[in-house]
């Protein structure tokens, strides 16, 4: 003990520099696993709160011109035909898929932050800048898209059926069987490029806005409070969907169309602009933004709350 007390400042710095890499490495490993698990809880929270808004968005984006007069009309016609349960049509795939989707999203976001650290070894501060958080968010979309695209494909197909009177599929597994019979795995994964086109910039805005809002609402050296988490999560969702709607419209049209109708995302875009004009690219923005705040507030609250619980127990 006496040698520790008499250690010089230089020796202390050397000792800290020797120990710190091991501590950081352990923390990163634990944080990655916790981020994966907490992301799943956040995703379930988001689906339970936001699915009815998502259904309205998809129906507005994919229905023939004149089918609906707007958001409220979709809700009225859906409830009149199928009752309140109609607003949760197609919730099975995202509820089952959202756990790995959000888990992978938050895990890959955590991993992307470590990549940013690795590329900047001589940084003056361990706190990432908002730009670096945004870059990490964009990188996180890559792994997530591999799970997101087929889940979205199944969800969209289930969401649009019934609005023309025909109920073709009995559920998610029936959709998968039909799609695989129709065109194999490529049919199930149709729209993967469009999904990445949406989620790359969307995830950049999502995580960047969350970190910025959280920083603005949390004074230095203070604990993050639930109200700040809810508001920052809500603003993250709004930021994402503000820029993600045009590629989301293209994705929804491509994934819901009969086989062979479109050659790809650019073909959908050309057709939309030719037949409906540029305004068609913003169909569904109302329900998307209405959904964005509560759903993503719930997602981040679920994430932060479960992470706090794991930190207390583990």
Per-residue pLDDT tens, the chain, 314 aa: give them: 433 333 333 333 333 343 344 444 333 334 778 888 999 989 888 888 888 888 888 888 888 878 888 889 999 998 998 888 888 888 887 777 777 888 999 999 999 999 999 999 888 888 899 999 999 999 999 999 998 999 899 988 988 886 665 678 888 899 999 999 999 999 999 999 999 999 999 999 999 999 999 999 987 777 778 899 999 999 999 999 999 999 999 999 999 988 889 989 999 999 999 998 999 999 888 888 888 999 999 999 999 899 889 988 87
With beta carbons less than 8 A apart as the criterion, state whether 95 and 44 touch: yes
Model confidence, pTM: 0.76
Q: Which domain holds residue 46?
A: 2-313
- Number of structural domains the chain divides into: 1
| CB within 8 Å of 92: residues ≥ 6 apart | 158, 171, 172
- CATH number of the CATH domain containing 272: 1.50.40.10
Q: Where are the alpha helices (DSSP H) in the chain?
A: 2-5, 9-62, 71-82, 92-119, 130-160, 172-183, 185-188, 192-217, 226-256, 265-275, 285-313
């Amino acid at each position: 003990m006496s040698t520790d007390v008499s250690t010089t400042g230089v020796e202390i710095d050397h000792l800290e520099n020797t120990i710190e890499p091991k501590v950081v490495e352990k923390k990163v490993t634990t944080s990655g696993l916790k981020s994966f698990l907490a992301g799943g809880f956040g995703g379930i929270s988001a689906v339970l709160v936001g699915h009815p808004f998502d259904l309205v968005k998809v129906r507005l984006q994919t229905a023939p011109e004149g089918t609906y007069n707007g958001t409220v009309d979709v809700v009225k016609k859906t409830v009149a035909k199928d009752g309140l349960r109609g607003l949760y049509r197609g919730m099975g795939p995202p509820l089952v898929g959202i756990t790995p989707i959000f888990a992978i999203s938050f895990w890959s976001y955590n991993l992307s932050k470590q990549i940013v650290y690795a590329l900047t070894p001589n940084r003056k501060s361990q706190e990432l800048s908002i730009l670096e958080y945004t870059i990490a968010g964009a990188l996180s979309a890559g792994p997530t898209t591999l799970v997101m695209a087929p889940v979205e494909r199944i969800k969209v197909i289930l969401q649009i059926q019934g609005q023309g009177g025909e109920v073709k599929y009995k559920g998610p597994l029936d959709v998968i069987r039909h799609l695989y019979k129709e065109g194999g795995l490529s049919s199930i994964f149709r729209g993967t490029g469009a999904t990445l086109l949406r989620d790359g910039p969307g995830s950049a805005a999502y995580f960047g806005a969350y970190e910025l809002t959280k920083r603005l609402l949390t004074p230095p050296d203070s604990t993050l409070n639930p109200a700040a988490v809810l508001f920052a999560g809500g603003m993250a969702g709004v930021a994402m969907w503000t820029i993600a709607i045009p590629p989301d419209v293209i994705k929804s049209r491509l994934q819901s169309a009969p086989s062979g109708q479109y050659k790809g995302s650019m073909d959908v875009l050309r057709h939309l602009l030719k037949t409906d004009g540029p305004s068609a690219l913003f169909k569904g923005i109302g329900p998307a933004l209405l959904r964005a705040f509560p759903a993503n507030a719930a997602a981040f609250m679920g994430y932060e709350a479960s992470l706090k619980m794991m930190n207390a127990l583990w």
